[in-house]
Amino acid sequence: MAQSNRDRTSRRAIYLKLRQMVLTLELAPGAALSENELAASLGVSRTPVRESLILLSQEGLVQVFPKIGSFVSRVDPAQVADAQFLREAVELASLDDLPADLDAEVVGELRGNLERQRHADLGLEEFFELDEAFHQGLMRLSGHGNVWTNVAAAKGHLDRARRLGLHENVSPAVFAVQHHEIFEAVVGGDVPLARAAMRTHLRAVFSDIERIRAHSPELFASGPSTVPVRRNVVVWE
């Protein structure tokens, strides 16, 4: 029984690692996947890698083509839009459910988060983590912080599009400013302003997609049956 539990834990760890590599663009959209190479790099057998790729294919993050191979799914704008619709509905609803007296501890955490977002030497992945924590913190203020887990699980394509957008922008400072505007509206009790600022902030990903697709169309899906070519795809040097 103990060995079985360890095996399940190990398989879960491999799945989470590969999923993170896809979401952070370490495994780029459209990149070919070799079970042997992934297993060697992770120091495991092919079995947990194969099982993880199956799970990722069920999430739409990996595509498996018989007799051709496995590939990281290109970013699907339709799935981005679906995830964005879900996220926006949940986050705007949480703003409508804010109590009159906000949790002072959470408010303090959010202020600290915003201060860290302004650091000039902040890496993009560090900013992304602060971004996620900020939005979850706002939901905690409304008493719905646990819902964030469900939102996060549904936005794989959206998160990749957001990361592409972060790399496309010279600095994430514009997003930090938007976060500050949302926060000030929330603590000031101006829910309509907070909702408007949140909606604008969340929908910025759509203009990012169009701008990036104009010069890097190979990163995006052009149709549900698109068969990728087995070649290396470079997102950035």
Separation of alpha carbons 63 and 140, rounded Å:
35
At 69, is the secondary structure helix, strand, or coil?
strand
Q: Is the pLDDT of residue 2 over 80?
A: no
By C-alpha distance, which of 4, 223, 189 is closest to 101?
A: 189
**With b meaning 16 or more CB within 10 Å and e meaning fewer, what string describes 167-188?**
eeeeebeebbebbbbbbebbee
For residue range 97-148, what is the model confidence (pLDDT) as tens digits?
999 999 999 999 999 999 999 998 899 999 999 999 999 999 999 999 999 9
Q: Which run of H or of E encompasses 33?
A: strand 32-33
- The pLDDT of residue 151 is 93
Model pLDDT for residues 68-98, shown as the tens digit of each residue: 889 999 999 999 999 999 999 999 999 999 9
Task: Give pLDDT, residue 25.
Answer: 95
Exposed / middle / buried, residue 36 (Cβ in 10 Å: 0-12, 13-18, 19+): exposed
pTM of the model: 0.86
pLDDT digits (tens, 9 = 90+) for 188-224: 999 999 999 999 999 999 999 999 999 999 999 986 5
Both tokens assigned to 10 = 């190990």
When pLDDT is cut at 50, 70 and 90, the band that residue 233 belongs to is very low
Domains and CATH numbers, the chain: 2-73 (1.10.10.10), 77-215 (1.20.120.530)
